[in-house]
Amino acid sequence: MQTIGLIGGMSWESSAEYYRILNQGVRDRLGPTASARCLLWSFNFSEIEELQHKGDWQGLTARMVDAAQRLESGGADVLLICTNTMHRMAPAVEAAVKIPLIHIADPTAERIRAAGFQKVGLLGTAFTMEHDFYKGRLAERHGLSVIVPNDEDRATVHRVIYEELVAGRVVPASRDAYRAIITRMVEAGAEAIILGCTEIMLLVQPEDSLVPVFDTTAIHAGAAIEVALAD
């Protein structure tokens, strides 16, 4: 079994889900006493959030590269960035280490294409929904057409993530708001919905959507299990 290096703490709420999914998946594959070999570098998310909203992407890149190199030095064989937004730094991280990085958008897009969908709605932080590092990869590498919510809905999605989900708060009214936003994206042509923030799976379940949802947290962790257990 290969050792999975996790860059987490962004937030720890979703990192805990990664840890659970990885260990449950390995146990399901190898037997009741088996668990995943993994290393976790966990950030203080309050520092990351401050730099994100200041737009200090250079400072964030330096921190991500440092975390990746620490995990590689510690013995990680494969690397995961346990957040969608910080995949903005994925190229710099890949260039700084010799071990492979599993980009969260790639297994997600592969799953969507395998299910026969081409036009998808994307929920995530404002950075993920508005910047091109994520939408562009989905379109250019995987041929997907990506819909994002309107300005007001994007603000709602972003606020709920940073004010509630990263703090472990699941608010029924916010679930209702997300349901309405998803419905509007479906009306705009979305055939499926990407839960493009690793905390959204705490709030949105398949029954909250009129179309299939693709949970990037579960898909990303699942892809890591496949790599770690490959012969």
Which positions are annotated as active-site residues?
Answer: 83, 197
How many degrees, rounded to 5, is the angle at CA 73 between CA 71 and CA 74?
60
DSSP state of 101: B
Q: Are 153 and 181 in contact (CB under 8 A)?
A: yes
Spatial strand order of the sheet with 78-81 comes to 38-42, 4-8, 78-81
What is the rounded CA–CA span in Å between residue 72 and residue 185? 40
Q: Are 64 and 94 in contact (CB under 8 A)?
A: no
DSSP state of 118: -
What is the rounded CA–CA span in Å between residue 49 and residue 13? 14
In angstroms, the Cα distances linking 204 to 48, 208, 212 are 24, 6, 12
The bridge status of strand 119-123 relative to strand 78-81 is: unpaired
List Cβ neighbours of 55 (8 Å cut-off, separation of 6 or more): none
